[in-house]
Homo-oligomer: A and B are copies of this chain.
């Protein structure tokens, strides 16, 4: 049985192809590379029904993943995250069919686990021993821990303002971590220098072609979870944008296999924060690429990416699906995070809260219609950002009575913005 139907790597800009048995990073033209599969053969040899008895993790789609030998799969049970109704928020927004896919329920607590699992499995298969990458926190944590499991050395550079929890995860994993008093773009330059000097594998966003294959499994799962009838709209918090590119790639691949209808794709929405919205600006101007966003700033740290290397792929996905890009305010992010926790019981990350705020806005603008089936991606656990939530509670001595009346405590605000 063929475990993977991968055929080659291909450049989406210049069309050049590469042998996937060798290590490749970017195309010679500077573009990220994508993985291609033998869709014709897959169409004949792989059936939806084959999935029924498989385990509920992302490896159930191994035919459409790049790892050739099952033994190289580095797994901690990632994938199979639930799609949950968020009916109270849906009622508030006027979107009865509102759902949230919860990417907090995954190893390392963020959707970055998908990219790390597939990316590092393939790195292991290719014989990689050491890698380096810049990160806004969650990707570094995920890659560090999966690297520990794979037996590969991790070298990570992270802004000093990234969520502290993520540096604890790196520490626990035994990764080498540097903090930089700057942005992910600064971290990226330092990694670039290290890679050039030491010859390490470059695991920066889209500089290796396999992370996106892990991320695309979110799209495969959404299609399967909706019974192969795709929803109308998917909203995604967009920093590097790999998840959105991956979801789009997944859905197009499912169309090639005939598993979903050829005439409908969900409208994909890139959600950003007003303090860092290069994709939104490019989309509003009808451009195919974004410009570097000066002095970017947002508490939704994962989407603080001033210029994404895959911006053109994100914008393509928006244009091809009649989607859009939308920016939300910091105050809306904070409000929706607590609204969703107190109404739905879901303590989501700020990036996920940005997506809720965007859904509210797009419904108010009537871009989302009342009858639309809408899926919001929550990309990680709120508790990874728990330091950001300032709270106050009464402290009693043993034997004191609990006073119900006049109780006014709880979340009292935010610590100083990162």
Footprint of B on A, CB under 8 Å?
Answer: 52-53, 56-57, 74-77, 80-82, 84, 102, 104-109, 145-150, 155, 157, 160, 164-165, 167-169, 171-182, 186, 189-191, 193-194, 198, 337-338, 341-347, 381-384, 386, 389, 391, 393-402, 404, 407, 409-411
Please give, as numbers and ranges, the residues of chain B lying within 8 Å of A148 by CB-CB distance: 341-345
Please give, as numbers and ranges, the residues of chain B lying within 8 Å of A77 by CB-CB distance: 81-82, 84, 102, 105
Please give, as numbers and ranges, the residues of chain B lying within 8 Å of A411 by CB-CB distance: 171-172
A396 vs chain B, min Cβ distance (A): 5
Complex contact B186–A399 (CB within 8 A): yes
Complex contact B105–A105 (CB within 8 A): yes
Smallest CB-CB separation from A146: which chain B residue? B345
CA distance A338 to B145 in the complex (A): 11
Smallest CB-CB separation from A85: which chain B residue? B75
Q: A-side binding surface: helix, strand, loop or mixed?
A: mixed
Complex contact B389–A346 (CB within 8 A): no
Please give, as numbers and ranges, the residues of chain B lying within 8 Å of A410 by CB-CB distance: 171, 174-175, 177
CA distance A389 to B147 in the complex (A): 20
Q: Name the 9 nearest CB pairs between A and B, nearest first.
A: A77-B82, A149-B345, A172-B341, A186-B398, A174-B342, A182-B398, A171-B391, A56-B56, A168-B386
CA distance A42 to B350 in the complex (A): 45
Complex contact A169–B383 (CB within 8 A): yes
List 16 A–B pairs whose Cβ atoms lie within 8 Å, in order of A's numbering: A77-B81, A80-B80, A105-B107, A146-B345, A147-B345, A167-B391, A168-B389, A169-B386, A172-B342, A174-B342, A175-B410, A178-B393, A181-B395, A181-B398, A182-B398, A190-B396
